[in-house]
Amino acid sequence: MPTKVEKDTFSGRDTTGHEWDGLKELNTPLPKWWLYVLAATVVWGVALLVLYPSIPYGPGHTNGLLGYSTRARVDADVKALIAQRAVFMDKIAALPVEKVKADPQLDAMALTAGRIAFANNCQPCHGAGGGGRPGYPNLASDVWRWGGTLAQIERTITHGVRSGDPDAHVSQMPRFGADAMLKPEQIQQVADYVWTLYGNQAASASVAAGKQVFADNCAVCHGDNAQGNHDVGTPPLRSRVHLFANTRDEIVAQINNPRMGVMPAWNKRLDPATIRSLAIYVHSLGGGE
Amino acid sequence: MLIRHEWIERNAILLLVLVLITVAIGGIVEVIPLFTIETTVEHVKGVRPYSPLELAGRDIYVREGCYLCHSQQIRALKDEVERYGHYSLAAESMYDHPFQWGSKRIGPDLARVGGKYSSEWHYAHLTDPEAVVPESLMPRYAFLAETPLRQDRIAAKMRTLRELGTPYTDDQIAHARDDLVAQATVDTDLDTFRKRWPKAVVVPGNANGPTEMDALVAYLQVLGTMVDFADVSTEQEKQ
């Protein structure tokens, strides 16, 4: 195979100098602009190699002349964000929740911050707008277990309910049926009584007996008039908003073997100003005391 | 040119050697970082191997393909840190074989979902996601609550993972099956269990023994909770 570059008479261009059985190939080099771009990307690559963290070796990697680090950048970004918010959030964190509520500007900021934090953290259980669902309290009603004042809401969010936090709200309703503390007929009677508190009808003899069972066993926590007690987390029963027991069967089940909810403590996940904002937002949903 | 193209084309051995060198560069670039893995993974306190129930739950997570819609990696970006919490550290997935970082977020990131919701919420949500989150696209996994968890292979699994470098102790492997059941039983004495598996979340379970859902919830509840970021030394160690 002779390698002789010659000019092709037909096209006027050089051949590659290769010849196969009389066939010759025209030399069509890559366009100059393409070669320059290729060279530029190589130079660019070397520059990045030198400026940024790149080559790994034994105990680590080259750090690059710029000393760039994703983690340092995100730490700085978050610090800048906190500084930007600090104008209001520091004031919210420094003042008691009632004072924040009283200041129109801080109140507006807290409501906005609270609404956003609520959507991310609270909505999965309490529903959009705090509407609640079975087992998860409605926050837009005036029924409160652990209290509906700003300070009480803030405390509940901070420490949670049966969350394992040392300051969490904890209470336990006895298993009146499962532990045989009440006879089955007594449970039916007290269920009838509670059912009338919901605004329904039941046999009057049974209700009267149930009222006595209630006074002897339930009133100590639920209150003489079933008005509830924020200290032990009992809700007012004379209401139409209930957590676990909306039907008569559910009332019986709840007396037999009560279900009790758990709410996480948010003090490990959210900062105090965000929790305060959440308290103000939740308080504004409709039932704040 | 130093080496003329023609020489290479005409010398099969030279061509072969040069091809091997070129391909080897690609391989070396991929392999070398693995030699430095000991120094790449931060040494932070708190990360422990998964408890038996969590490990079983992790297998359910993989089997059901949860990673196809959920990532487990909070990237070091402001928006992600704002929404999900502290960005993920390599150390937090060092006992994952394989890791579940994922690459898709049809659902939210789960790297720090542990403790965000109550266990009861997870049961309700896995059973029927739309009942809790009306706009959810997630399929129902109610059948997990009716499927008893296979218990007989748990110790063998832990021994296998030990071969791969997960530091399970003999004590932990010996009590694997007891601990598997204990973590899904509310009213048992948990002192020794807690010693072996700090920060493990005990799930409600039921009298008939742990179900696959119990295992999955136990796994979800520990995600992202092992490292204490409030501890100042964590900040220094992660650098």
Distance from CA of A238 to the nearest CA of B (A): 27
Strands (E), chain A: 15-20, 23-26, 56-57, 60-61
C-alpha span between B224 and A18 (Å, rounded):
65
* Subunit contact A124:B36, Cβ cutoff 8 A: no
What are B100-152's pLDDT values in tens digits?
999 999 999 999 999 888 898 999 999 999 988 888 999 999 999 999 999 99
pLDDT of amino acid A3: 64
pLDDT band for position B237 (cuts 50, 70, 90): low
Q: How confident is the model at residue B235 (pLDDT cuts 50, 70, 90)?
A: low
Q: Report the residue from B87, B117, B238 with minimal CB separation from A264.
A: B117
Contact A145, A261 (CB under 8 A): no
Q: Which residues of A touch B238 (CB under 8 A)?
A: 71
Q: Which is nearest to B217 in space by CA: B34, B51, B43, B6?
A: B51
The answer, yes or no, to whether residue B156 has pLDDT greater than 50, is: yes
Using CB atoms, which residue from A74, A121, A124 is nearest to B121? A124
Q: Does A2 have pLDDT greater than 60?
A: no
Whether B38 shows a pLDDT value over 80: the answer reads no
Least confident among B21-35, B204-218, B225-239: B225-239
What's the average model confidence in pLDDT over B201-211?
A: 88
Residue B47's CB: how many other CB atoms inside 10 A? 16
Mean pLDDT, range A172-200, rounded to an integer: 92
B211 has a pLDDT exceeding 90: yes
Letter for the amino acid at B49?
P
Domain at A71-168+263-283, CATH from 1.10.150.130, 3.10.20.30, 1.10.760.10, 3.40.630.10: 1.10.760.10
* CATH code, A184-256: 1.10.760.10
Chain A residue set in contact with B, beta carbons under 8 Å? 3, 56-61, 70-71, 73-74, 77-78, 81, 120-121, 123-125, 128, 133, 135-136, 261-264, 268-269
Give the pLDDT mean for A53-81: 86
In chain A, residues with a C-beta closer than 8 Å to the C-beta of B81 are: 74, 78
Closest CA to A236 of A284, A188, A287: A287
| Residue-averaged pLDDT of chain B | 89
In a 3-state reduction of DSSP, which class is residue B109? coil
Range from A34-48, A190-204, B185-199 that averages highest in pLDDT: A34-48
Q: Which of A10-14, A149-153, B234-238 has the lowest mean pLDDT?
A: B234-238
Domain boundaries, chain A: 71-168+263-283, 184-256
Which pLDDT value is given to residue B64?
A: 96
How many whole angstroms from its chain centre is CA B239? 22
Nearest CA in chain B to A263: B118
Decide if A60 and B230 are in contact by the 8 Å CB cutoff.
no
A81 with B132: Cβ contact below 8 A: no
Strand pairing partners for A7?
A14
pLDDT at A1: 47
Q: What is the pTM of this model?
A: 0.80
Please determine, for residue B188, whether its predicted confidence score (pLDDT) is greater than 90: no
Of B35, B77, B120, the CB nearest to A135: B120
Q: From the list B36, B115, B117, which residue is nearest A125 (CB)?
A: B117
Q: Which residue of B has its CA nearest to A80?
A: B78
Tokens 């009146």, located at residue: A176
DSSP secondary structure letter of residue B149: P
- For residue A173, give every residue at least 6 positions away whose Cβ sits within 8 Å of its Cβ, in sequence order, or none: A221, A254, A258, A260
| Residues in B touching A59 (Cβ below 8 Å) | 36, 39
Residue B211, CA distances (Å) to A83, B122, B160, B234 in order: 47, 14, 23, 36
**Cα A224 from chain centroid (whole Å):** 38
pLDDT in tens, A112-127: 999 999 998 899 889 8
* Amino acid of residue A28: T
Closest by CA to B215, choosing from B176, B162, B172, B171, is B176
What residue in B sits closest to A17 (Cα-Cα)?
A: B6
- Mean pLDDT value of segment A196-224: 91
Which whole-number Å values give the CA distances from B114 to A14, B162, B212, in the listed order?
Answer: 71, 25, 18
Q: How confident is the model at residue B3 (pLDDT cuts 50, 70, 90)?
A: low
Return the pLDDT at A265: 92
Asked if B87 and A71 come within 8 Å (Cβ–Cβ), the reply is yes
| β-bridge partners, A136 | A133
pLDDT at A202: 86
Q: State the average pLDDT for chain A.
A: 89
Question: What mean pLDDT comes out for the span A16-26?
Answer: 83
Residue A57 backbone dihedrals phi, psi, to 5 degrees: -150, 175
Quick check: B6 pLDDT over 80? no
Identify which of B78, B82, B118 has the shortest CB distance to residue A262: B118
Q: Where are the domains of chain B?
A: 5-35, 42-237
Query: Positive or negative, the Cα torsion across A129, A133, A139, A141?
Result: positive
Range scoring the smallest mean pLDDT among A60-64, B125-129, B130-134, B229-233:
B229-233
Beta bridge partners of A15: A26
Q: Pairing state of beta strands A56-57 and A60-61?
A: antiparallel
A244-248, B162-166, B216-220, range with the lowest pLDDT? A244-248
Q: What is the pLDDT of residue B166?
A: 93
Does residue A197 register a pLDDT over 70? yes
Percent of chain A residues past pLDDT 90, beyond the cut: 54
- Given a cut of 70, whether residue B233 has pLDDT beyond it is no
Which residues of B touch chain A, with CB atoms under 8 Å apart?
A: 6, 32-33, 35-36, 39, 76-78, 81-83, 85, 87, 115-121, 124-125, 131-134, 230, 238-239
Task: Say which of A57, A70, A133 has its CB closest to residue B132.
Answer: A133
- Chain B partners within 8 Å of A70 (Cβ): 76
Question: What pLDDT, on the 0 to 100 scale, is given for residue B238?
Answer: 52
Within 8 A of A269 by CB-CB distance, chain B residues are 85, 115-116
* Cβ contacts of B77 on chain A, cutoff 8 Å: 74, 77
Identical fold at A71-168+263-283 and A184-256?
A: yes
Mean pLDDT value of segment A62-91:
90
**How far is A212 from chain B, CA to nearest CA, in Å?**
33
pLDDT digits (tens, 9 = 90+) for A227-240: 999 999 998 888 88
Q: What are phi and psi of B56, to 5 degrees?
A: -65, -40
Give the minimum alpha-carbon distance from B96 to chain A in angstroms, rounded to a whole number: 23
Specify the fold of B42-237: Cytochrome Bc1 Complex; Chain D, domain 2 (1.10.760)
Q: Which of B85, B130, B133, B90 is closest to B110 using CA atoms?
A: B85
Count of CB atoms situated within 10 Å of the CB of A240: 9
Decide: A143 and A235 in contact? Cβ < 8 Å. yes
- Find the CB nearest A77 among B78, B133, B134: B78
Residue B39 has pLDDT above 90, yes or no: no
Task: Tell whether the model's pLDDT for residue A269 goes beyond 60.
Answer: yes
Residues A5 and A14 sit within 8 Å (Cβ to Cβ): yes
Question: What percent of chain B clears pLDDT 90, i.e. is strictly above it?
Answer: 63
Residue B43 has pLDDT above 90, yes or no: no
Best of B43, B121, B229 to disrupt the A interface (most A CBs within 10 Å) is: B121
Note the pLDDT tens digit of each residue in B86-96.
Answer: 999 988 999 99
CB A160 within 8 A of CB A122: no
Question: Which has more pLDDT, B213 or A29?
Answer: B213
Q: What is the pLDDT of residue B145?
A: 94
